Amino acid sequence: MDNTPIMNAQPQSFQTPPTPPPQTELEKVSQDFGRALVVYLAWKSAGLLDPSPTCSRPQQ
């Protein structure tokens, strides 16, 4: 039986992969746009962008 303690208790899903710093202004803008797009899609899928509570979930 392995009695090695777990050093990293944080779930892997909450860790972001390390990214090298952007080299050009275009790369900075691209990364910012990518982050904004991910946040927008996450909020939209969670129903946080819909002002009416009755339409917050898609009809199946």
Write the pLDDT tens digit of every residue in 37-53.
Answer: 999 999 999 888 776 65
Q: What is the pTM of this model?
A: 0.45
pLDDT at 10 over 90: no
> Domain limits of the chain?
22-46
CA distances in angstroms from 25 to 14, 19, 32, 34, 39, listed in the order given: 28, 16, 11, 14, 21
Mean pLDDT within 26-44: 94
